[in-house]
Structure 1
Amino acid sequence: MKKIKGNPQRPRLAVFRSNRHLYAQVIDDQNQKTLFACSTLDPSIKPLITTGQNCKAARLVGEQLGKALIKHNLINVVFDRRFRPYHGRIQAFADGAREMGLQF
């Protein structure tokens, strides 16, 4: 299996999905730094999880992270979903990030 790596010009957008929550980090692998992070544990998003709207919450996480990256002029990222299939919460997150203008 090939490893996905990010660099300062095109950092890695790593997504981790647990049974209940979704976590996303933007990582510069060359400098070993986490640039941005966001999750469904955010107080404005967490109430959606308790009402069973997981995909809507994942989309909001993608939009929130997309806004932060666009604000800091990072448009191109490498999407790293690990072994998770591209559907459900992962797809909702990616759609939300793409809506904000991210390219991956």
Structure 2
Amino acid sequence: MTAIAKKRIQSRIARHERVRKSVVGTAECPRLAVRRSLSHMIAQIFDDENNKSVAQVTTASKEFQGKFGEMTKTEQAKQLGLQIAELAKSKGIESVVFDRGGYIYHGRVQALAEGAREGGLKF
């Protein structure tokens, strides 16, 4: 890994730590966390008070790839947002706190957030 890549990762982690000081998920309003890699994304809903993961959806799953595998990564992120919203609704969650994970609110992260809002989540 080059020095530039290490610096980029360290900067993202520092941003995430800064954001996590104020973004906390509760049982009434859990935290929607985003994890992004070069090829896939993970959306996970956390209850930080009880240290539990309430729901998780990933683009790497076989079911997701079977339905949406031919779409672009940004379109897949939007579908991921719709799926996490549907899963949250089925568990009785109406509103969440969005944790972008230190990533810039742009591109795939923004598409996931918009998809979750379209699915009915409030944040």
TM-score normalised to structure 1 length = 0.90
CA contact (8 A) 1:25 1:34 kept: yes
RMSD value, Cα: 1.5
Q: Does 1:8 align with 2:27?
A: yes
Q: Does 1:91 align with 2:110?
A: yes
Aligned pairs for 1:68-87 (under 5 A) are 68-87=87-106
Code of the residue aligned with 1:37 in structure 2: it is Q
Q: Does 1:57 align with 2:76?
A: yes
Q: What percent identity do the matched residue pairs reach?
A: 38
* Unpaired stretches in structure 2, ≥5 consecutive residues: 1-17
Deviation at 1:52, TM superposition (A): 6.3
CA contact (8 A) 1:12 1:28 kept: yes
* Unpaired stretches in structure 1, ≥5 consecutive residues: none
Q: Where does residue 39 of structure 1 map in the other structure?
A: 58
Q: Out of 40-49 and 13-22, give the one that drifted further.
A: 40-49
Structure with the greater alpha carbon radius of gyration: 2
Post-superposition Cα deviations, 1:9-40, rounded to whole Å, max 9, x if no partner, equal: 00000001111110111000010000000010
Say how many residue pairs are matched: 103
Post-superposition Cα deviations, 1:56-75, rounded to whole Å, max 9, x if no partner, equal: 11111111110111122211
- Show structure 1 runs of 4+ deviating over 4 A: none
